[in-house]
Amino acid sequence: MQKSNSKLANTKLPTPKLPHSSKSTVHALPSQQRGLVFSSLLLIVIIAGMVLLALYLVKLDRTITHKFEGKRWDIPAKVYSQPLELYQGANVDRDTMKTWLELLNYQSDNTYDRTGTYHRSGNTYFIHTRGFTYSANDVDKEQVIKMTIAGNKIESVQSTLPAKSGIIRLEPVNIGGIYPDSNEDRMVVSLDQVPQPLIDALIATEDRGFYEHKGVSIRGIARAVMNNFSGGARQGGSTITQQLIKNFYLNSDRTLKRKANEALMAVLLELHYSKDEILQTYLNEIYLGQNGNRSINGFGLASQFYFDKPLNELRLDQQALLVGMAKGPSVYNPRRHPNDSKARRDVVLNNMLAVGSLSQEDYDKAIEQPLDVVDKPVEGKSQFPDFLDIVKRELNTVYYSDDLKNEGLIIISTLDPIAQLAADKAVDRKLGELRRNNSKTKDLQGALVSANPETGELVSVVGSGSEFTGFNRAVDAKRQVGSLLKPIIYMTALESGRYNLASSVDDSPITVNLNDGDEWNPKNYDNRDHGYVPLTTALSQSYNQAAVRLGMEFGISTFAKQLRRMGVKEEIPPYPSALLGSVNLSPMDMLGVYQVFATGGFRTPIHSIRTVIDDRGRILQRTGLNTQRSIPPETNFLTNYALQQVVSNGTAKRAQSLGSNLNLAGKTGTTNDYRDAWFAGYSGNYVSVVWVGRDDNKPIGLSGGTGALPVWVDYMKQLKLTPVALPEPEGIEWLWLENNSGKLSNERCANARYLPVMSAHLPEEASSCAIGLYQQDRALEQMQSQNQQGAINQQRRREGLEIPNSETIDSDSQENSDEQNGNEAENRADTWYDRAVEWF
């Protein structure tokens, strides 16, 4: 037992075999789990990142497409003048053509083989027009016009394109714009309007692989990095697409995030749109300078801003200059840094030579060209700001402000650049002369407005000083108008039938009792009383006392009603002084009044806009003739005659210097203490009003005849005037009248005048001179008749013939004879007045 126990004790029992020790199991299991968890988390992160990236890309994609396919820019409205119409017999002379071509910046060229060029040989012009789109259905294409001028008229005109109407239009002048609140200005051009050399220059300089890459150029980025690290000039690796993304969607921050966004969006943009679409957008978006507080965007506008020409008329070197400016418009501004600008231009030309888009010969020629940048930018700043202001006011009554600023509207206005330049010169010249007179006139200001009386189209406006401040005196200066309203008083008197042009009016002192118990005693400007004077004299010499007495006869309420008939909307104060013009009205208000006189009594509202066209060429507004009868034609005919007397022998006699054959009509106006000087008048084709005064309303010591009339005459003499020739209405007869009584008269009477009279209100009395002459003539006629009958009777006796008067008359015949004689006597009584009127 002991032995066996010992053996058993010394025997080594085998250890049971386990899969793993408990210790290794504990350590191996967590390691595997951590690996799985980490892998899972990483996968989740990657998936989440991809989802987020996808969502971010979707967001970027939507951002790109929303703006690119929607409204890309706020495009300003552009305002143009009326076009110049060329047709056989048109009143166009060489000076007019010279001025219009200069305003359009046409260049003299013997070959005239490009748009915007012309050649003149003697009186014959060859003009290669640019064309113009007036609407989708009214497009003038480019054409060559051959025109011959003889004297002041077009003798013949031909064109390379047919003109069914016989009228060829030379395009209107751009007079300004209405700009977006973003202060971005641009002129959108399509790709086919951009010269190919400009595109070649852009590709060669900014992105030579534009047509190969998909938005991002790896080669360009690598080249820029290597160059920057090697210490060379700092370069960017951005493609044209990336530059567009930066300008169109992003900003110029130099951050990794912005660069990443730029690259992603560039790729997305290229996935959606063609290279041509991207290039066209870039050409219109690129920033190329600053005009005051407005940015110059796009090559279309930059061409006008720096060269005053459309893109297709630029030389190769000028196109290269604009491309060079894309790198830094302020650094390479050709007006401020001409040397740097030329050097950059030459780099662009050299790039074109390097890639083969420019021959050595063309390169050598282009690199020798001067910059030829215009000294002052024409685009953006209106040369006719007063007129543009009135256009804006008229537009604001119809359109929302945002539509005017952002929708790219085209407005064809009624401005006549020739008339406007004449107005500017007249005001500058004559006010300059008047300001040198004395201390009262040192701060003299003026306003001038002029329109076509038949159409109501405003053709010229001067309402501010050398710099437009927003205060336009043509519409904003409400001043007393003085004697400009006197024709309304005399018109009322003539319309009533109580007065005719030769009637007597009393210019003796008058006292008017006012409602507050005070008395008003108006005086004449010469401080003299003239007693009874003819109506035309009272008006032509502008006698105050006669005007007040006549106005009070018909009443102030009637005076106010007449002004409303003439289109005056301002409230007329119910005071007698209103008869002498103590009414605050603007030059534009008075233009409307005298427009009625100038057209035979028809009122056509004064307007400054012909048509408004949207960016698709659709006509949104076309101003038609809204003409209404305001004054009976007979009344207006007589009033016009009276206003012509003001010019022929009254206070506006200075206007006769323009030509007595023009039959001009008008009226001077002067207010109390000589604070305001006015003249309103018209020819057959222009009605114009001038105001001269001081903004502080202090006396200027000038009357209408010495202050305003010289400006009016200077303006009108620069225009081609037609005579005043109103058609004579049916209800008008011309009679000899006694001046200062209005009675019927005879041409042999000393004080007789041959004047128009309304048929409905012929005078019923004759002057003593006329009656005496009439009786003498009747007696002489009777005597001649008796002598003639006596000679006949003697002849009949000599020939043995019976004398009719000696024959026996029976009773029946006697009764018939008596009845016949009675009827003849009655007829004579009925027709005596008519016969007398004919005689008188």
pLDDT tens for residues 210-269? 999 998 887 766 665 565 555 444 445 689 999 998 888 887 666 777 788 888 888 988
Phi, psi of 439 (to 5 degrees): -65, -30
pLDDT tens for 95-131 read: 999 999 999 999 999 999 999 999 999 999 999 999 9
Is 483 catalytic? The answer is: yes
Question: Which member of 206, 285, 313, 634 is catalytic?
Answer: 206
Q: Which amino acid is at 327?
A: K
CA distance 290 to 301: 11
φ and ψ at 555, to 5 degrees? 100, 145
The angle at the Cα of 726, spanning 724 to 729, to the nearest 5 degrees, equals: 160
Predicted confidence band of residue 406 (pLDDT cuts 50, 70, 90): confident
Q: Give the Cα separation of 431 and 751 in Å (integer).
A: 42
Give the pair of three-digit tokens for residue 580.
Answer: 């002498």
Residue 63 CB neighbours (<10 A):
14
**Amino acid (1-letter code) at residue 598:** A
pLDDT of 617-666, one tens digit each? 999 999 888 899 999 999 999 999 999 999 999 999 999 999 999 999 99
Q: Is the pLDDT of residue 16 over 50?
A: no
pTM of structure: 0.85
Average pLDDT across the chain, whole number? 88
Task: Please determine, for residue 525, whether its predicted confidence score (pLDDT) is greater than 80.
Answer: yes
Helix (H, G, I), strand (E, B) or coil at 821: helix
Task: Give the active site residue among 81, 483, 540, 688.
Answer: 483
β-pairing, 628-629 vs 602-603, is antiparallel
3-state secondary structure 694-705: CCCCCCCCCCHH
**Amino acid 227: pLDDT:** 58
Q: How many CB atoms lie within 10 A of CB 522?
A: 18
Q: Which residue has the higher pLDDT, 145 or 55?
A: 145
